[in-house]
Structure 1
Amino acid sequence: MAGMSEVQSVSLTSDMWTSMNMDAFLAITCHFIDADFKLSTVLFGVTKFPQTHTAEHIKEAKNVLLEEWGLKDKVHCLITDNASNMILCAKLLKMRHVPCFAHTLNLVVKKALEVTPEIQDIRTRTRRIVAFFKSSTNAKERLSVTQGQLGIPTLKLVQEVETRWNSTFQKLERMYEQRLAVGAALGSLTMDIPALSTTELQTVSECLEILGPFNHANVELSEEKRVSSSKVIPILRMLQHKVASKCSNMGNTTALLLGQNLLHQMKAKCSVENVSVLAMATVLDPGFKTLAFGNQTNAQEAVKRITAECLKYIQRSSATTQSVPPEERPGTSMAGQDTDNLWELLDSRIGATRNVQSAVADATVEVQRYLSDPYLPRGEGPLAYWATRRTVYPNLFQLCMIYLHMPATSVPCERVFSKAGEIKKEDV
């Protein structure tokens, strides 16, 4: 792709998929900030994967794709799910691994649902209801007619996929929306499948209220055209706040237990403020900076890391543009012309110390000036901000070009396989 050679840093997402014919595939997508300061995504490739799914085999397949594009040395990080073979693969490739946050949230909600008994019972019953309407032509037609009679949108019921919690949310949401039509249709059919009771429907409604913010977070973090790496920390904090707030006013005992389980699972599984690349991305987003952190010690640690990175850029620039000979001091004019200068070692150390102190001061001033700038309104993109401040904060600008292209999830790869699944279905 034209222009890729000019990109200084990229992030990769990777995933594997098995078709209905049991053919396995590996895909890699590449993410970077282009010359117009927009997020760009390129599909590196999809390759058939007949080998066993070991970390070594995955590494070899990825290396082939990376060599074709010539960008291996520019990879900032690799985002995948938390599978042990993917984590080990990143280690073998000597790449920084970042867990897909959508996958982490999936684990949080799935576990919370599993340890909430009544909602598990409702899930089991609604699975049976949905399966009945999907398997019976007569039942499907009766539901459609009933929806029309009640003036309700003619929508199909949704069956959940065991591995994806958001499908559970979508199933319960659709079931609640269609509760009148489903109840009436079931009542008119001679089948021993009772509809959900009024009490159960109320439980579904309040559990949906608790789960709604997680669905919102999942959608927002999976966007490809907006910066998402900087949102992981603030979104987790807002989820914790939102759930705790809803629990404080929740009357339904099942929904309250679900909320408490969600809070517990987030605390156990989501230590995102300790992931350095996410913490630095958050600070580099002018809409969040240090305010988004729940623990200010973590925020200040991220600021220190950013200051240290700025210092490296300043020193690198200084090394290529500055070459200052030791200053001649009074009474040493003869020695100054002599190659055997008595003061050479001390003068060079003093000069080096002076340069380091100046560079540290410059890096600190640049970071602190940025942090004292007004916060960017949340709806405005951070890349547009940095595009207009590349000369004001030149070293921070270089860092934003590295840390803000990283997607928060591996959903871009999953979308590739989702489309592939649709194509396969068309071919069948």
Structure 2
Amino acid sequence: MNQGFSSGFLFRAKDSSLRRLSLSSSDPLKLSCEKMEAIDLNDDGQNDVMDEDIEDHEVIEISEANRGTPPRQARSGRRVSKLWLKFTIIGGKRSDGTTKIRCNFCKRFYFIKLRRNGTSTLSRHLKVCPKAVGTPRSSPRKVDMMVFREMIAMAIIEHDLPYKFVEYKRIRMAFTYANSSIEYWSRNTAASDVLKIYEREKDKLRKILNDLPGRVCLTTDLWRAITIEGYLCLTAHYVDDDWNLQAKILSFLAFPPPHTGIAIAMKLVELLKEWGLEKKVFCLTVDNASSNDSMQSILKRQLHKDLVCGGEFFHVRCSAHILNLIVQDGLAVIVGALKKIRETVKFIKASESREMMFQSCVETVRVEDSEDQKGGLVLDVSTRWNSTFLMLSRAVKFKQALGHLADAEASYVSFPSYSEWRRAEMLSELLKPFSEITDLISGSSYPTSNLYFNEIWMIECWLKAHANSSDQVICEMVKCMKLKFDKYWEEYSDILAIAAVLDPRLKFEILEYCFSVLDQSTCKRRLANVRSKIYRLFGAYKRNQRISSAATTSQGETHDVPAGYGGFYAFFSQKAVGSGKSTLDIYLDEPLLDYAAHKKLNVLHYWRDNSARFKELATMAREVLSIPITTVASESSFSIGSRVLNKYRSCLLPTNVQALVCTRNWLKGFPAMGDESGEKTEEEKEEEDNEKEKGEASGESTDLTVESGEKA
């Protein structure tokens, strides 16, 4: 086929009218295959049957067409359509004159008379073949732009993408390549799309919370972003209709100073009314900031009439923060050894050459990774004792390698002394139980509150066991920790004890054992105190149950009793009342479930399965077991916030920040600790790589990421 067109061709335009054109081979006019088809009217048997839609650059020498099978053997140098790279002829010509041809992509078969029809049928097939890669379609699929924009908005929310993502040149090119009918939109439109999703999901969550049969528990915390703006986070914890524990951020809003107790309390009241939850609050968990003490007192007065037992169980202190205070008081006693270890890590992390030298020392002494101690040296965050424990345990692991480094590098002057290493080793062993308990408490997928009592009891036993250590420094450290522990234990142990009683594997037996081990003389008094409080709490739920039952009866609703069993049901109910036993009494009188046989028991599901039997007690258990013992869920939202509002995207409006943080949480939940907390944006990764290339000292471990912002 020549590049030009002879006068022996007739062209069919899209309007199906026929026109004869006479063009010389030198005419520069190019006829697009998308506008018209060429039909060979001179079928004299002397020319090859070619695909009329294939342009000159889409033909190959017959010797190259080795992936498919050409229609017939041609003499050397003859050109055939590239189409035959994508199809294979099966067998020879059939008796009816057709040839069996298979698509190499989708394996579909065609029976075609090549002499009469050419390859037009095959060309049309490629335009719609579902498995042909890169093949242009005859007509692009119509895109619903509203659906497409919502999908991009969801990607912006879930993957921390900036709004200007939709204006990136290459992204728009990719959109056009995928479908030329896609219309571009601006960053402002993208922000508007995110806000629409936020409002829609907020309405869904509000309905879920308002329809809950029980109450919600709250956590709140303050955070200061890199932009110096203060943010307040309010999180709701509740048990859903399937009796699964849920945690959802209600608000993540800009909160300017003053951050006083009354200012925080009034803002929380405003938010609760906005969500319609002012009459459905069970408790509030906060850390030990001084403003929180006055805040919870003011909030309790504001909500007093609608709180259970007048708010006796309203204030819950964050266990993770209490543990942090306890351990920090102990670490202050051995600050000398910690300082040297901290300076050691900074010294090694200061340059790549020092890291290489240290690695050489590690290989010399052959330090092996144990199952519980994998990784290199890490630098701690001074406000997080568990990071200090990690730094300490890693340093002890590399003690010999650090000794070699001290001998080889004269500028390394912070190598700890023998006595300091000995205390570091002891402290590492002593703090291991604290680390394990903190891991349980601080997970964003935290367990129900029944598990915490035993863990806190183990800490008190540990303090008691090491109070008379032979090392005077360790003894002093334990003394400081015990003083802090005693300060907070009495204030939050009651609600933890009640939660433990509501575990059918533990009940009061676990309290009796734990209290007797700690102090036999106070065991009975402590048991009586917890028993009186759990019965007082149960009484409040029993009164509410009677009120709701009376309302149900007045509306004409009755129990669904099978026909003929109405009298028996009335007799049974009267007998149960006459026995004088409440559902709490019945529950406590039943034998414990075997812990070994029910090690993985889902306590909430136990109460779900027994809700018809225990009624108001099941309602009480539902709410007590959902109590958040820590504010970690609220704090993990700050990790999300630090990625949404980092130094590369510091101009976001507070309303947009709230929409991104809240909607992400509603759609994906809280990230697992250690999963996304260390996740960096592309801009942060690029900057980190540039700093490493320049050899700049970071001054901190790459194993431990500090949030871009801090608690207010």
For the criterion TM > 0.5, the same-fold answer is yes
Structure-1 residue corresponding to 2:416: 196
Which structure: larger Rg?
2
Contact 1:139/1:189 (<8 A) preserved:
no
| 1:65 partner letter | L
Greater relative contact order structure (CA < 8 Å, 6+ sep): 1
Structure-1 residue corresponding to 2:209: 4
Q: Is 1:285 paired with 2:513?
A: no
Compared CA separation, residues 182 and 281, structure 1 to 2 (3 A): same
| 1:171 partner letter | M
Structure-2 residue corresponding to 1:43: 249
TM-score, structure 1 as length reference: 0.81
Choose from 399, 417, 425 the match for 1:205.
Answer: 425
| 1:78 partner letter | L
Q: Is 1:88 paired with 2:294?
A: yes
Choose from 326, 332, 350 the match for 1:135.
Answer: 350
Compared CA separation, residues 359 and 155, structure 1 to 2 (3 A): same
1:31-67: CA deviations, max 9, x gaps? Answer: 1111221111111121112222112222233334323
Compared CA separation, residues 276 and 315, structure 1 to 2 (3 A): same
- Spell out the pairing of 1:103-182 with structure 2 (5 A cutoff): 103-114=321-332, 116=333, 119-148=334-363, 150-152=365-367, 155-182=375-402
In the TM superposition, what is the alpha-carbon distance from 1:228 to its structure 2 partner?
A: 4.2
| 1:277 partner letter | I
Deviates more, 1:155-164 or 1:98-107: 155-164
Structure-1 residue corresponding to 2:612: 391
Compared CA separation, residues 379 and 185, structure 1 to 2 (3 A): farther
For structure 1, the 5+ residue unaligned runs are 324-353
Choose from 218, 234, 237 the match for 1:31.
Answer: 237
Contact 2:503/2:603 (<8 A) preserved:
yes
Structure 2: how far apart are the matches of 1:55 and 1:359? 49
- Spell out the pairing of 1:236-385 with structure 2 (5 A cutoff): 236-245=456-465, 251-272=470-491, 275-293=493-511, 294=515, 295-318=523-546, 320-321=549-550, 361-363=581-583, 365-370=585-590, 372-374=591-593, 376=595, 377=598, 379-385=600-606
Contact 1:113/1:120 (<8 A) preserved:
yes
Compared CA separation, residues 299 and 230, structure 1 to 2 (3 A): farther
In the TM superposition, what is the alpha-carbon distance from 1:383 to its structure 2 partner?
A: 1.3
Structure 2: how far apart are the matches of 1:173 and 1:401? 40
In the TM superposition, what is the alpha-carbon distance from 1:298 to its structure 2 partner?
A: 2.9
Structure 2: how far apart are the matches of 1:167 and 1:217? 14
Q: Percent identity?
A: 24
Structure 2: how far apart are the matches of 1:422 and 1:149? 41
Compared CA separation, residues 100 and 318, structure 1 to 2 (3 A): closer
- Report the secondary structure of 2:285's partner residue: strand
Deviates more, 1:184-193 or 1:209-218: 184-193
Contact 2:584/2:617 (<8 A) preserved:
no
In the TM superposition, what is the alpha-carbon distance from 1:210 to its structure 2 partner?
A: 1.1
Give the number of the structure whose residues are more often helix, by fraction. 1
| 2:359 partner letter | S
| Count of residues paired in the alignment | 392
Contact 2:266/2:299 (<8 A) preserved:
no
Structure 2: how far apart are the matches of 1:49 and 1:58? 9
Structure-1 residue corresponding to 2:673: none
1:284-320: CA deviations, max 9, x gaps? Answer: 1223322343234333333333334444444554454
Structure 2: how far apart are the matches of 1:167 and 1:287? 34
Contact 1:143/1:181 (<8 A) preserved:
yes
Structure 2: how far apart are the matches of 1:5 and 1:384? 22
Structure 2: how far apart are the matches of 1:281 and 1:164? 28
Contact 1:311/1:359 (<8 A) preserved:
no
Structure 1: how far apart are the matches of 2:229 and 2:507? 45
| 2:609 partner letter | T
